[in-house]
Amino acid sequence: MRGVTTLWTATDIAAATGGTASADFAASGVAFDSREVGAGDLFVALKGEATDGHRFVEGAFAQGAAGAIVSETVAHPHVLVPDTAAALDALGRAARARTGATVIGVTGSVGKTGTKEALAAALARSAPGKVHRSVKSYNNHTGVPLSLARMPADSRYGVFEMGMNHPGELSMLTRLVRPHIAIVTAIAPAHAGFFRDEAEIAQAKAEIFEGLEPGGTAIVPHDSPHRDALLAKARAHAARVWTFGRDKTADVFAREAIAGPRGTLVTAVLPGAELTFTLAPPGDHWVSNALALLAAVHAAGGDLAAAGLALADLPGLPGRGARLSIPVAGGEALLIDESYNANPASMAATLKLLGTEPARRRIAVLGEMRELGDHSQRYHAGLRDALIAARIEAVVLVGAEMAPLADALGHDPLHVAHVASADEALAYVGPILAPGDALLVKGSNGVRLSRLVEALTRPLPAEAI
């Protein structure tokens, strides 16, 4: 439930956007999706290619909106502006200008949402109620200014995820966010269809450093093959540059990382500090994420011990690693929900993790990876070795772009099904699941494997138990 603290008044909004207020009102939140509007919110009526937010103004006020930003006069309290998208940017800039918070920006091809969420949780241990973060994956040209506009002025920390799929996008976003600390988690061939190679992706991700505030800190993945390019860009904009990774020559590294049944015991060495903690989410990629976020906490002057406690309590995120017990005939199976996103690096990492599960059988439902351009066939077929190494007993491949992997697996001792949709995948995998199985569900969001996850987590009918 939202609090009743005023976030924006009509006067504030008009001053920030250059608009004209029709009446006094006070808003406690901001939304541009009318379905998310709650009591007391400010509704921003954006105009897009497919729809016009002004069509939903009445619905927003019916749900309790306090006011709206519009470019057409409406019969409700509003601030009238020439361009609502430009007004949202202006509101985001005003929110950033009025706060004294330490602001941290996070980007990367993989790991940025998980790192953002974990970093916010780590900072909140020593500053409860004073950490603001981007919600969901609001990391683009509309999501970032919205997340900024939602930041209370008295926040101590702001953590913002920034994404891109074309050169120049991060350059614009980081200048809105103006981070004191900027993290690049990792570089991988995500959105490869828009870039010639990974080197171009690295250059685009490095744009996050362009918006650093004077005296700012850049945090760079030491173990990346693109480290030197990232470092060059970071040094041009940052007063301090730290690297993180497993190699002991990194500024922040893991002296040891011992996986166990209740998490990974990690000893992290940082400039002038050392911390031993338990990391709840499994997998080598989470060790890397934890090192990056601890570097950010340390650079922000935060409480490392409190951050370590938070890392021990991290839950899995829906669509991004949540571990769910699902009902099957005769008992329960484990479902690892990675249904929100996929690229070659994250696919390989989660398949490796599945291979470590002490399960009766390991089964994977893998949706096609999108935006890989001319490299798509090679990247999909390239998952074969990771599947074999993980000792997967059965795999369901979803989508036309998975055909190269289906062909590559044709002669392996592995049960393979290639289907067109999430519904067909459910029809195949639902009946074969048995107690003690571990099922990984992973694919690009557009494949809609979240529907399969939702269906599998429903209680069984009484006759099936």
Mutual orientation of helices 169-177 and 84-98 as an angle, nearest 10°?
50
**For position 190, what pLDDT does the model report?**
64
Q: Per residue in 275-292, pLDDT tens?
A: 999 999 888 889 999 999
Instruction: Return the residue matching tokens 């600390």.
Output: 181
Within 8 A by CB and 6+ apart from 426, the residues are 451, 452, 455, 456
Q: Which helix (H) or strand (E) holds 204?
A: helix 198-205
Instruction: Return the residue matching tokens 């993989």.
Output: 110
Q: Per residue in 334-371, pLDDT tens?
A: 999 999 888 898 899 899 989 988 899 999 999 999 88
Residue ranges of the chain that CATH labels 3.90.190.20: 322-464
Q: Per residue in 153-162, pLDDT tens?
A: 999 999 999 9
pLDDT winner (highest mean) among 85-89, 112-116, 410-414: 85-89
For strands 331-338 and 322-328, give the pairing: antiparallel
Mean pLDDT throughout 106-135?
94
**For position 380, what pLDDT does the model report?**
95
| Higher-confidence position of 44 and 323 | 44
Within 8 A by CB and 6+ apart from 261, the residues are none
| Higher-confidence position of 28 and 463 | 28
Q: How far is CA 444 from the centre of its chain?
A: 13
Q: Per residue in 398-422, pLDDT tens?
A: 999 999 999 999 877 688 999 999 9
Residue ranges of the chain that CATH labels 3.40.1190.10: 99-312
Number of CB atoms found within 10 A of residue 413's CB: 7
CATH number of 8-84: 3.40.1390.10
**For position 260, what pLDDT does the model report?**
82
What is the overall mean pLDDT for the chain?
A: 93
Tokens representing 399 are 């989508």
Q: Which CATH superfamily is domain 99-312 in?
A: Mur-like, catalytic domain (3.40.1190.10)
| pLDDT class of 51 with cuts at 50, 70, 90 | confident
| pLDDT class of 461 with cuts at 50, 70, 90 | low
CATH number of 322-464: 3.90.190.20
Mean pLDDT throughout 296-306?
97
Q: What is the DSSP string of 297-327?
A: HHHTT--HHHHHHHHHTPPPBTTBBEEEEEE
Mean pLDDT throughout 115-133?
96
Contact 386, 409 (CB under 8 A): no
Residue ranges of the chain that CATH labels 3.40.1390.10: 8-84
pLDDT at 172 exceeding the cut of 90:
yes
Contact 44, 36 (CB under 8 A): no
Mean pLDDT throughout 241-253?
97
